[in-house]
């Protein structure tokens, strides 16, 4: 794996603290549900699949704190309130809720909950590797990919979605280069994606968000690949703010625009992206980035964390089921059938 995003240590959940990257690589052991919840809310752990895995482990942490059913139920409700957009969070918590009766009727509820959280983690790793292999077939030796935000090992159980496609292509012997948008306001592309790609030996060039259209116009990019936090039944995809604009630029310059995500990021109960809840975050992320104020007091701010890219702007959606091309609805309907 390019990076070990998190690991169960028996006495708690250990994560790499993404606040500190790229300057310091430090790990934090969380032994209370509140610590896990705050880590998710403050983006110490982030990325839709990683949030789901952390939440699942958070339920096991709750059983460590107090191995009582009511306490674990309250912990699940606390974790549900952390972030609204990434559907993987709710998938993982629903999965943990679904085994509570079995866990507490067994001789060792903690072991049962820990095993299920580990299964959520291992399943995500397998799904990401599978979708990455499918996506790698879209890339040719010598291609250059533009990506936005971080959809790599740091955002998942440890392999990645959009970056996983790149890793898989490199493992196949293809030479792939990457341009990474910095991803304002929290610079996940600059701080995390470039760090992760450099650590993995993949050549990467950092650009400001407002350079993406020019780079596309200059013909430097062969493909755009992004992740997703929630995908509706029609193929509309919510991802980090700025993704929608990037899809428009890619379409204008006839560059394929791909979305890579496991089925745990799909919400088949939502007909379109218009129904996806969009998280709004603290205004300080805009006016006082990393502790330095860069905008005047007394003005209004708007800080949505995500936007929705309409299905018509997406060239293909990549999941562990394969590669879907427009029109998406019928293919995604088949993907929704449980094997």
Helix (H, G, I), strand (E, B) or coil at 260: strand
Say how far apart CA 75 and CA 73 lie, in whole Å: 5
Say how far apart CA 253 and CA 66 lie, in whole Å: 56
Alpha-carbon 130 to chain mean position: 16
DSSP H helices, the chain, are 33-41, 48-65, 69-80, 87-97, 100-105, 109-136, 162-171, 188, 194-200, 212-217, 243-252, 284-287, 328-335
- Residue 180 tokens, joined: 């990474």
Residue 67 CB contacts under 8 Å (≥ 6 apart), including other chains:
109, 110
Active-site residue, 267 included? no
Distances (CA, A) of 168 to 44, 137, 315, 323: 26, 9, 20, 15
Instruction: Report the interhelical angle of 33-41 vs 48-65 (nearest 10°).
Output: 160
- Residue 95 tokens, joined: 């999965």
The size of the chain, in residues, is 339
Q: Exactly one of 229, 236, 267, 307 is catalytic; name it.
A: 229
Most distant pair of Cα atoms in the chain: their distance: 64
The residues that are catalytic are: 229
């Amino acid at each position: 794996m390019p990076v070990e995003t998190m690991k169960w240590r028996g006495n708690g959940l250990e994560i790499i603290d993404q606040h500190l990257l790229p300057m310091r690589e430090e790990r934090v052991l969380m032994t209370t549900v509140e610590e896990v919840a705050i880590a998710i809310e403050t983006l110490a752990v982030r990325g839709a699949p990683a949030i789901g895995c952390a939440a699942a482990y958070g339920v096991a942490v709750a059983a460590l704190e107090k191995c009582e059913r009511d306490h674990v139920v309250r912990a699940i409700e606390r974790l549900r309130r952390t972030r609204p957009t990434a559907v993987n969070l709710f998938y993982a918590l629903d999965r943990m809720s679904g085994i509570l009766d079995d866990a507490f009727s067994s001789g060792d509820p903690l072991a049962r909950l820990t095993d299920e959280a580990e299964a959520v983690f291992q399943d995500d790793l397998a799904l990401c590797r599978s979708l990455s292999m499918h996506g790698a077939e879209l890339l040719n030796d010598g291609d250059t990919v533009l990506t936005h935000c971080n959809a790599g090992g740091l955002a998942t159980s440890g392999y990645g979605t959009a970056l996983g496609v790149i890793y898989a292509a490199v493992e196949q012997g293809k030479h792939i280069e990457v341009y990474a948008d910095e991803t304002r306001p929290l610079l996940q592309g600059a701080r995390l994606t470039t760090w992760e790609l450099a650590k993995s030996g993949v050549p990467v060039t950092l650009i400001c968000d407002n350079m993406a259209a020019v780079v596309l116009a200059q013909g430097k990019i062969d493909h755009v690949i992004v992740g997703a936090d929630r995908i509706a039944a029609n193929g509309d995809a919510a991802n980090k703010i700025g993704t929608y604009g990037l899809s428009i630029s890619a379409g204008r310059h006839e560059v394929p625009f791909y979305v890579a995500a496991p089925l745990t990021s799909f919400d088949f109960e939502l007909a379109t992206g218009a129904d996806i809840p969009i998280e709004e975050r603290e205004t300080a992320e805009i006016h006082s980035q990393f502790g330095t104020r860069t905008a005047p007091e007394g003005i209004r701010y708007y800080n949505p964390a995500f936007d929705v890219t309409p299905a018509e702007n997406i060239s293909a959606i990549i999941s562990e089921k394969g590669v879907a091309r427009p029109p998406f609805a019928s293919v995604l309907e088949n993907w929704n059938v449980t094997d």
